[in-house]
Amino acid sequence: MSHSEANRVRIFDTTLRDGEQSPGASMTLEEKLQIARVLENMRVDVIEAGFAIASNGDFECVNRIAKEIKDSTVCSLARAALGDIDRAGEAIKPANSGRIHTFIATSPLHMKVKLQMEPEAVIEAIHASVSRACTFTNDVEWSAEDATRTEIDFLCRAVETAIKAGATTINLPDTVGYATPQEYMDMFKAVIERVPNSDKAIFSTHCHNDLGLAVANSLAGVAGGARQVECTINGIGERAGNAAMEEIVMALKVRGDALPYHTRIKTEEIMRASKLVSTVTGFTVQNNKAIVGANAFAHESGIHQDGVLKAAETYEIMTPESVGVTKSVLTMGKHSGRHAFADKLKDLGYELGDNAFQECFRRFKELGDRKKNIYDEDIIALVDDEVATWANRMQVISLNTYSSSNGEAVANLTMAIDGEKAKTVTYGSGPVDAAFNAIKDLIGMEPHLQLFQVHAVTQGTDAQAECTVRLEEGGRTVNGQGAHEDTVTAAARAYVSAVNKLLVKREKKAPDEAAKVVAAK
């Protein structure tokens, strides 16, 4: 192995699996496919597409992504159980390069309380489950869940067992975000040094951000010998989230002097991926978020502004262009034709099918009739909204509202529900309330509205609105997002987007954490 290859860090993106476990972050099949294509274009090494056993919908997502993605490895998660592994193997079967990622808990607390298994039984399950996975693919990853709270002697024995059984990647996750960087680095060094066959596998980090240390711990793991980092776009994930991919990648790129490692990520695609994941999940990126936040390259202080104007490197350690941040460019108007619009979409990194393109172009022309100046951000918001919703079971066709300060608001709504048109007229205390009441009237559902927020895509009173809606039903929480030049219509699209995700989530079953590990015997 060359020095360059030995120092290459593989990026394992789990936005579609661990990221989707964020409360409210359910994604549809089309949304997952869209994100997978962007990740492939970024040159992500491994895309963890889902948990195939979780539901038929999850299986279909993994399977479709495995069919479409050619340049990245497509991975499915599986517990150390026969059914999980067989289902994962079937899901990744069409992939050019497929991986099964199987795991079992190794800490005393998890083994006793969650698994209710003796350590010897866990060792047997590791060997049996990895061996089973190897019958489907020669690319098998094994994870020691709660590795950072596992006794080091037992962890070494478990890792040795997994590698002997055929695992080519060993993941030592900080499952509950408990570790400090020094501890995490020392764990990797100890395991790699003590396990006799450690040179036959690539070691991986997977850090959660409960103490805000996920990125620092991941980089410490790399310093300790790991050569794969598991992460998500925007750091999304359950609880406080995962290590943020964009922060890991840019830290390695900018600080090559202190961290002599590299990735193959096309960093200019980072902002595109960040915006897409934000739109799809409904999780707005905080303004002061590193790398991708709105303020990441903004300089408010007079001293900073003066320095940046004289020499950007005085306060900018990386250029905005290196992560795909571009200035707001006045693009086109209502007289621009299909060819010009197609060229602009290509410049922005979109490749749309004919139907999606035609619908986006129609909305672009409508936007041009209502909005004097159209910017790149307008087109990005419009296209992301359209592509994320065009295949949904329920869609807003038209919405007219009337309101005054003296009385009830009225909403006249037409929707498509499973291909059939449905209409209603309802009332509310304001136009948004009336619109939401109309949607509930047509869909026959009464989900609880937990969050409703609006922000403008660009400056000016004619700016498009992007709305986020969070709905809860029966303990399930989902986010929906919608964009439109009319704020009430954007709100309705966001609400319907969330409803579609509730329907997807109804089909999922949470894999039973305490399920007996009926490992292959």
For the chain, helix, strand, coil in percent to 5 are 45, 20, 35
Return d(Cα 27, Cα 13) in angstroms, integer. Answer: 16
Using the 8-state DSSP alphabet, how is residue 452 labeled? E
Structure tokens at 190: 């100890």
Structure tokens at 237: 């994930």
Contact status, residue 301 vs residue 243, Cβ threshold 8 Å: no
Structure tokens at 399: 């919405």
Quick check: helix, strand or coil at residue 197? Answer: coil
User: Cα dihedral sign for 319, 325, 330, 336?
Assistant: positive
Binding site, annotated residues: 18, 206, 208, 242
Contact status, residue 31 vs residue 278, Cβ threshold 8 Å: no
Q: What angle do CA 318, 323, 328 make, to 5 degrees?
A: 105
**β-sheet bridge partners, residue 104:** 144
Binding site, annotated residues for Mn(2+): 18, 206, 208, 242
Contact status, residue 355 vs residue 390, Cβ threshold 8 Å: yes
Max Cα-Cα span within the chain: 79
End-to-end CA distance of the chain: 36
In 10 A of CB 506, how many CB atoms? 13
102, containing H or E segment: strand 98-105
In 10 A of CB 79, how many CB atoms? 25
In 10 A of CB 413, how many CB atoms? 25
Return d(Cα 66, Cα 33) in angstroms, integer. Answer: 10
